[in-house]
Structure 1
């Protein structure tokens, strides 16, 4: 035999010996008759014919003949009824991208070892991969029947993940309902309540993925009726909130349940809840949830960072700075590990590294100082940020310069920045335009954005910004053309519909069309306070004052933005509720006395606060 052939044989033999460790029984415990007594010798069940059969199977695979290897290994598995060989045969078929053969192996495995949970799981996963979802009912039922009752809730909770890549979500829901409803409705005797709760949660997630939010909410309600303190039910309700507003009552019911869930569990739910509220721009609602976390679970250090960011959005720089300084103090005290644990507790896949979080804290502190117009302090915080954030830091520095009347210097600072990434040139143009916009240099800003759109054709962000500058200059035809282009390019983007609808409403033009545009925006982004504000404003222009007040109260309650407050105050004022209007305007001016919309509203209505 040639040396190469010997080498291949040796390699294959070593692979077989590694793969057939199953053949070596575990040594028995030493008998109690005497110390150090040797365990009885048990011979391996691996005889010579089987050894050579496995050797041939691995050799065929190493030489690229996966089909023969599969047949040889599957035959060996059937003879021995050993699960590891069935698994190996299945893996060989998968390696060869032979899905049907892998399924045959998994089914042979299940038939040979009917008590094997892994065999049933492999069969389910292969059926799903082969887009044969309807055939998974029986193996799923058999899998759950084999799982010990104490482990069944966790097994049920994992089922929606099996179908995460399927395209027919309704078929998946139909399968899971056949499998899980007996557990959810507690038809099976002796099942713990936790199993029923897990089943309702799994059904809720499946229904939500299939676009049936109403029935998903029903599942969550049924789960909470069984276990008011269930964290899984509360998290499902939070997932439902963007599409089913009624789900929020389940979250608050969990947080208020008596006796309460453990503090760490409540705080983990509050963190996810606060994040969902913040995404919906309901900052005023999110902040108290984070404050409760900082009080009840101080180990969740990142809550202070998020709270600081929210306080800045609410134009509360002093409160923001206090939260951010507390965050830094806890990091310096050695709480990085706790912060990481908190991220794990909330299953945040996008959790930042400690250095990224520190950088974020410095940038937010600079922003807080800027809001207080303490430019020296802002520069001090920016100086702490590492050099990898050059564009972000220099953008903030340029903003500080512009606010001190040094706009030309600010623009030069941005233009001089090196362009290390292809995206940097576009980002610099956006930053420069924003500087000009903040300083009310509308024509200059429009010029920069026009130039940017010449370089980056059909960039919807740039087109949108250019439209906003055209609106500021009352170039309505140009604005509408640009926004219509954005809608054509990105019909699922709500901002363009809202901007066009609001601009028409603000000028008392084409009000029915303006209303339809804003409603379309809200369909794409339900619950967005700024879109709700636009709807309230167009209702006001249409003369529907009570309806306008209802929408504007909702928007202001979710986010007490100064412009929203100006709108709500105006509708209240003309409706005769002047004391309330004065109170809302006074609170808004205390937060942001420089807001143009508020100042224009008070001047036009001749209100002296």
Structure 2
């Protein structure tokens, strides 16, 4: 009994104390202030209810607390009754308490929210329609967009996702016709349709929302999620919106990010240049543009973009987002300095990184710099100091060491590390893929092929495995028809990947189809200027008799990556000087 008294006393004290400012606004709470004193019978009932709830009879405790809540009309006691029911795993009793609370305080959004959430937890999805409609009715006009945006998450745990989409569509019938919030309403429906695998219907929802509320961003953000080669209407919606509202810089940035995810780098860069031209004050656009230009080896442009970001970020208020953005910029600037072989400057930039999420990345870059300077033992010692407290941290350290050893052509040591890692995680396809690539470096082609086919068996849509196997066969000039089938499958899975297009062009070259190879490789190089693609395109051009253009392509490739082994070997074979 003594163990339970402090708990009961805390509830009683909370009840008799004057109300404090809480999450719900005054308009959401219709209950009167509790009296400063309570009668003995009520005090005893609450105390007894708590004792029963903590003891062997939670049902009695629930009944006593719910009765006290009804007598006092106090929201905290209704909430406590619900807690007791939920702790006893009695969803129906929790729903009873929430419904009693809502009946007693019909203007309370908090009470209605509990009813809605408990109905969904009990999988009474269809029964949730009135509660969802009431929640919207109680919300102010300024609150409704945020509430509508939260609906997909609220219904996200419903097992029957198609049912969830239908229920929400029915519940939002009024909002779907309201030109002030139709875009937000249809976007919520579309999100649930998308979660249910109904992609065409999700796009229809986005289109309906934007038609009724042309300026709404919610349907456009939904369309960005839907964007794929199979749903061209989604991108058409996004482009049309940006044509009508060219000053929507943040939306254009979101579009650029989607293009980057689709590996459509040139188009993404075009969108970012448009943002920085129209709204140069948007710091985020400069940061993404600078990072992209760094990856595309546009070093002078990247330096300017990142410096512009730093100038804009300096005027921002301190915070986690600013810290993370600055650290990303420092990382890109370090990468640029590293490409110039200015290792002192690279380390200076890395030393500025203080975002926790990028500290490990900074240290791995420091190790890579040490490796490039021939200080391999120091580099490995630095990597050994990386944290390994979580599986993710252990994986990061392992792969950094493997990459270091690969850069030093210590393939056997790298393979030993990967073998140990695969023994511990035999179903990790990423590790299997790295192991396969290392087996190829060691000339163990049978092992490489077995590993890649194991990956394909486990993940039939792993484009990298198809591509690597097809490219390897072509590179060795064996089973070329099979190589073509494999790389074509990879390109079907990732149609915008320029490196897979490079593989296909190389396969066509090995099959003697020079013009087809030139066409494919030319397009791949335009999409992604890369030294490896330059090596392949140049070789095909040379064999096709276009030697001056081949030489120009190779020299352009050198500006993108002078240390690329494939490019160096190719130029050496054809006696072309850098």
TM-score by length of 2: 0.78
Moved more, 219-228 or 522-531: 522-531
8 Å CA contact retained: 2:371, 2:379: no
- Residue 412 of structure 1: CA displacement? 5.1
8 Å CA contact retained: 2:383, 2:400: no
User: In structure 2, what is the Cα distance between the partners aligned to 1:574 and 1:485?
Assistant: 36
**Given the alignment, which residue of 244, 250, 256 partners 2:243?**
256
8 Å CA contact retained: 1:537, 1:567: yes
Q: How does 1:372-387 map to 2 (within 5 A)?
A: 372-382=340-350
Per the alignment, residue 58 of structure 2 pairs with 66
Per the alignment, residue 209 of structure 2 pairs with 223
Moved more, 237-246 or 497-506: 237-246
Per the alignment, residue 421 of structure 1 pairs with 387
- Residue 281 of structure 1: CA displacement? 3.3
Q: How does 1:446-595 map to 2 (within 5 A)?
A: 446-454=412-420, 456-457=422-423, 458=426, 460-487=429-456, 493-511=462-480, 513-518=482-487, 521=490, 527-535=496-504, 538=507, 555-556=524-525, 558-564=527-533, 588=557, 590-592=559-561, 595=564
User: In structure 2, what is the Cα distance between the partners aligned to 1:214 and 1:579?
Assistant: 49
User: In structure 2, what is the Cα distance between the partners aligned to 1:195 and 1:357?
Assistant: 33
Report whether the alignment pairs 1:283 with 2:249: no
Report whether the alignment pairs 1:129 with 2:121: yes
Report whether the alignment pairs 1:410 with 2:376: yes
User: In structure 1, what is the Cα distance between the partners aligned to 2:99 and 2:522?
Assistant: 61
- Residue 489 of structure 1: CA displacement? 5.8
Report whether the alignment pairs 1:213 with 2:182: no
Task: Provide, for residues 41-95 of structure 1, a one-character-per-residue CA deviation record: whole Å limited to 9, x for no partner.
Answer: x988977655554454345446575322221232344456665544443233224
SS state of the match for residue 205, structure 1?
helix
8 Å CA contact retained: 1:157, 1:198: yes
- Residue 416 of structure 1: CA displacement? 6.6
Per the alignment, residue 316 of structure 2 pairs with 335
Q: How does 1:101-116 map to 2 (within 5 A)?
A: 101-112=93-104, 116=108
8 Å CA contact retained: 2:18, 2:36: no
8 Å CA contact retained: 1:321, 1:368: yes
User: In structure 2, what is the Cα distance between the partners aligned to 1:584 and 1:376?
Assistant: 31
**Given the alignment, which residue of 252, 260, 265 partners 1:270?**
252
Report whether the alignment pairs 1:364 with 2:364: no
8 Å CA contact retained: 2:12, 2:43: no
Q: How does 1:132-171 map to 2 (within 5 A)?
A: 132-147=124-139, 151-171=143-163
User: In structure 1, what is the Cα distance between the partners aligned to 2:137 and 2:561?
Assistant: 62
8 Å CA contact retained: 1:502, 1:514: yes
Report whether the alignment pairs 1:89 with 2:88: no
- Residue 579 of structure 1: CA displacement? 10
Distance 1:550 1:144, change over 3 A: farther
Per the alignment, residue 33 of structure 1 pairs with none
Distance 1:51 1:375, change over 3 A: closer
**Given the alignment, which residue of 298, 307, 315 partners 1:325?**
307
Distance 1:179 1:438, change over 3 A: same
Gaps of 5+ in 2: 27-33
8 Å CA contact retained: 1:242, 1:526: no
8 Å CA contact retained: 1:281, 1:528: yes
8 Å CA contact retained: 2:4, 2:51: no
8 Å CA contact retained: 1:522, 1:532: yes
User: In structure 1, what is the Cα distance between the partners aligned to 2:281 and 2:303?
Assistant: 20
- Residue 471 of structure 1: CA displacement? 2.5
User: In structure 2, what is the Cα distance between the partners aligned to 1:579 and 1:76?
Assistant: 92
Q: How does 1:19-58 map to 2 (within 5 A)?
A: 50=42, 52-58=44-50
Across the two proteins, how many residue pairs are aligned to each other?
560
Per the alignment, residue 14 of structure 2 pairs with 15
- Residue 102 of structure 1: CA displacement? 0.9
SS state of the match for residue 341, structure 2?
coil
Distance 1:199 1:523, change over 3 A: farther
Gaps of 5+ in 1: 28-41, 344-352
8 Å CA contact retained: 1:77, 1:85: yes
Distance 1:73 1:411, change over 3 A: same
8 Å CA contact retained: 1:398, 1:413: yes
- Residue 244 of structure 1: CA displacement? 5.1
Moved more, 112-121 or 171-180: 112-121
Root-mean-square deviation over aligned CA pairs: 4.5
8 Å CA contact retained: 1:426, 1:452: no
User: In structure 1, what is the Cα distance between the partners aligned to 2:297 and 2:124?
Assistant: 54
User: In structure 2, what is the Cα distance between the partners aligned to 1:387 and 1:140?
Assistant: 40
Per the alignment, residue 37 of structure 1 pairs with none
Distance 1:140 1:512, change over 3 A: farther
Distance 1:418 1:197, change over 3 A: closer
Report whether the alignment pairs 1:232 with 2:218: yes
Distance 1:257 1:69, change over 3 A: same
SS state of the match for residue 194, structure 1?
coil
